[in-house]
Amino acid sequence: MSELENLKKFHGHLGPYVVVGFRMGKLAVEKFGAGGKELRCVVKTGTKPPISCIIDGIQFSSSCTLGKGNISVENKGLAEAVFFRDDKRIKIKLKDDIKSRIDREMSKENEEELSLWVYGMNAEKLFNISIE
């Protein structure tokens, strides 16, 4: 089963925001590598769908889960997450033009098509990334 099929099974459907979160978590894990303290995350989406679907994507692709308590959610309505490990920090924010296109074009009929578009996009075109 592909990672997108597993993500769809985990979340209940395949939408662009769960894929955005999946890509955020995967990018953070790649940037931080193995070792060190446990990865932690603060997600700025709030809990209102569809933007909050980012939370499930992050939980799926990173070691950050609500059950373990190493992820928290701030009610800012932003497609943004900040990951922490040791003394390192990475902020990953969905670019405004990508968010606008998702919000403008998303419907039940084309959510999987938009999801595949997000999944296949280069991370630098998808996100504003700042590492500290």
- pLDDT value of residue 132: 85
Number of domains in the chain: 1
Residue 33's pLDDT band (boundaries 50, 70, 90)?
A: confident
Half-sphere exposure of 79 (CA within 13 A, CB side): 28
Q: What is the pTM for the complete model shown? A: 0.96
By the 10 Å C-beta count (0-12 exposed, 13-18 middle, 19+ buried), 30 is classed as: exposed
Which residue range is the domain that position 111 belongs to? 3-131
| Percent of the chain residues past pLDDT 90, beyond the cut | 92
Whether residue 37 contacts residue 86, with contact meaning beta carbons closer than 8 Å, is answered with yes
- The CA distances from residue 109 to 13, 49, 82, 115, in Å, are 12, 17, 31, 12
Q: What is the mean pLDDT of residues 10-25?
A: 97
> What's the CATH code of the domain at 78?
3.30.1330.130
d(CA 124, CA 111): 22
Residue 46's pLDDT band (boundaries 50, 70, 90)?
A: very high
- pLDDT value of residue 80: 98
